[in-house]
A and B are shown apart, each in its own frame.
Chain A
Amino acid sequence: MTPRQETIYKWGLYALATLLCCVLQGLVLQYVKVLSVFPFLYPILAAVLSTLEGPLAGMIYSLALGVVCDLTISAPIPCFYTLIFPLAGLLAGTLARSVLSSGFLSALVTSAAAFLLTGAFHGLIFVFSSRPAWAETAAVCGRELAVSIPWVLPVYFLFRFVWRRCLDDQRTRS
């Protein structure tokens, strides 16, 4: 395999893993309401992949994920997720590479950061629409974080499996 083919292969596997998570979100998690909110996987996907692949690749992946979310999920403003997910990916990748060591703990922390960033952005939009609701925003953000954070575990190990497999393949060939 040429390096180009390897890259296509790896990102193809990432796309499949993402599709699996999207199906899980749409068919199962959306109907499992706990504390009046349901688990939301997309910020976790952005954070986990950025943790594994670094800020630049993570940001590009998160941008694509944001576009998909904006096409399928209603948001307070157009391009909400297209704007916020690359930022979350950049933040997660930078944190994982500079501050924390890449691993499950790092994925956990960066996922929480992605949720907080998304929540803060929602709060800002309410402020700009002359209807600030910081207390309620914090409450929803906290509940969403609480019910979603356990899902970092399966998502992290799914993406780590793809990452490790591609890395092993590269090592075997070289």
Chain B
Amino acid sequence: MKEFLKRYGLWVLFATAVIAVGLALLSVFSTTSSPLVNFAQTVTSPFRAAYTAVADWVQDKQNYYEDTTALKAENEELKQKIAQMEAEVRQAQSDSEENERLRNLLNLREQRRDLSDFEAATITEHSTSNWTSYLTLNRGTDHGVKKKDCVITESGYLVGVVSDVGNNWCTVLNIIDTDTSLGAQVFRTDDIGVAEGDFALMGKGRLRLDFLPAGAQLLNGDLVVTSGLGGYYPSGLVIGTVEEIQTDDSGATSYAVLQPSADFDSLSQVFIIKSFDIVD
């Protein structure tokens, strides 16, 4: 190589200079690109196209992966936000319902000054037998609850009477249970009777109004409330409405079938009347 350069170096340099000058002159005087550039570009063009296609594909994949990862993270975050918002909505609904109940109770307190002491209670269990109708509440002697305390809804509808009490629980016999018996009064006519559970009616969610005075003229839809006679229970608590009048098996006396105003199946919170003033 050294020998070659010594011998032909000047000639190679000269030839290179001539070619360079020639190419420079061609590129100056030509309207298109120089032949050498054109040749090089023509040869490498397919390779560059292929390289660009591969590079684009890789870029796409990379973008797709980055987008997917970001979307997954965003989706997860949104899901958490939705869950949190749903929990807040549920809490708000629960608070709203409780607020509504307490507002009604406040109205009831204002209307009924004789009902002096209420205890709010949550129903922890509905009937566990097919033969009785009762509720278990989360309030007991620790909260001042006693046997025979009346239990009402926020609207003042009678639910039942406390039958058993423990430290932090009590059971309430619903007014339709066969063991329940209350002094009752027909609101329109002031007729006095006894509202009591009847097994034949309990399955239909009804109770009966017995011992009505002879000649009592009841109408369907008549409101029946507690009479308060004897001072065992407060007066004026809504028991239900007269659904129909029926004659006893003996045919001698008649009784009214009452539809309770309280809907036992949909109850979740009730109020225990711990004390009341006897109204004459």
- Chain A contact residues, CB within 8 Å of chain B: 26, 30, 36-38, 40, 72-76, 122, 126, 129, 131, 133, 135-137, 139-140, 143-144
Contact = CB atoms under 8 A, between A and B. Distances in A.
Interface stretch (B57-65, B107-115, B129-137): B129-137
B203 A140 contact: yes
Nearest to A135: B200
A133 B129 contact: no
Contacts of A140: 130-131, 199, 203
B95 to A, nearest CB: 26
Given A37-B130, A140-B199, 17 more contacts: A26-B128, A30-B128, A38-B130, A40-B129, A74-B164, A75-B129, A75-B131, A76-B131, A122-B131, A126-B199, A131-B199, A133-B199, A136-B199, A136-B200, A139-B203, A140-B130, A140-B131
Contacts of B117: none
A63 B164 CA distance: 23
Contacts of A135: 200
B155 interface: no
A76 B163 CA distance: 12
Contacts of B198: 131, 133
A100 B136 CA distance: 42
A33 to B, nearest CB: 9
From B134, B164, B199, name the one whose CB has the most chain A CB atoms within 10 angstroms. Answer: B199
Interface string B116-149: 0000000000011111101000000000000000
B169 to A, nearest CB: 12
